[in-house]
Amino acid sequence: AGWKLFCFDRIDSTNAEALRRLSADAPPFLVTAEGQSAGRGRRGRDWVSPFAENLYCSLALRLDGGARQLEGLSLVVGLAVLRALQDVGLSDIGVKWPNDLLAAGKKITGILLELSGDPADVCYVVIGVGINTNMQAVAQEIGQPWTSVRLESGVLCDRTTLALRLVARLGEYLERHRTQGFSALRGEWEANHLWQGERVVLASGVQHVEGVVLGVDHQGALRLQTSAGEQCYSGGELSLRLH
């Protein structure tokens, strides 16, 4: 995809490093590490990042089209990772709004987008992807059911092969998103959404909304059928669970 590559052995967080690098290097570039000492998850959580077992990478991009280019972006990244995992032979995987990937119902990948700059002007996005690849057990507690490529397939996964598929799929899907927008990918995303039609609870802090998942709108917001009619929700701080 023509991205510059910065590889690290150990680092605090590839997302943090990509954000720091934006002051000196022009995107697009990719930061990878074998291990992270302070891997970041969504909603302020840690991302457990054992050395040499998984894939940790962050892609820094410049968004020329302003905030519109962010619409559905994290969902499209989820789709690209899903395809990369299918490319290496995994089945029974799907996406969970907004950007989790589940294999056999358990989390296999986390995606964290962080913005830099002014969404109304020159804006950069760092797309962090962590794929549980060969991890089979962890020292720390992970607060939700998780799995890895190895646990699902039963064999050691070649991380280089997976990384190459990931880069190829990201290039392909980000280009489609850039040129055609999220609308062109919405149907494909919904077709892979595990909780399409399910009764769910959407939580943000102390607020809860209950409803049935209708799908996503043209911006990637979640469409729920609630007792108050159809409602749309967007935002990285929301979390979804089955009712």
Positions touching ligand BTN (CB under 6 A) are 13-15, 36, 39-42, 45, 47, 56-58, 110-112, 128-130
Minimum distance between the CB of residue 47 and ligand BTN, rounded to whole angstroms?
4
Asked if 197 and 212 count as a contact pair (C-beta separation under 8 A), the reply is: yes
C-alpha span between 223 and 242 (Å, rounded):
15
Which is closer to ligand BTN, CB of 50 or CB of 181?
Answer: 50
Give the nearest distance from C-beta 58 to ligand BTN in angstroms.
5
Nearer to ligand BTN, 35 or 171 (CB): 35
Q: How near is the Cβ of 163 to ligand BTN at its closest, in Å?
A: 12
Beta strands 29-36 and 123-131: pairing type? unpaired
Query: Minimal CA–CA distance to 146: which of 131, 166, 165, 127?
Result: 131
CB of 30 to ligand BTN, least distance (A): 11
Complex with ligand BTN: residue 11 or 181, whichever CB lies closer:
11
Tally the residues of the chain.
243
The conformation of residue 149, written as its DSSP 8-state character, comes to H
Query: By C-beta, is 181 or 220 nearer to ligand BTN?
Result: 220
Sheet containing strand 29-36, strands side by side? 4-11, 29-36, 55-63, 123-131, 106-117, 100-103, 93-96
13 or 134, CB closer to ligand BTN?
A: 13
CB of 159 to ligand BTN, least distance (A): 13
Tokens standing for residue 171:
């290039």
- Is the CA virtual torsion 115, 126, 106, 49 positive or negative? negative
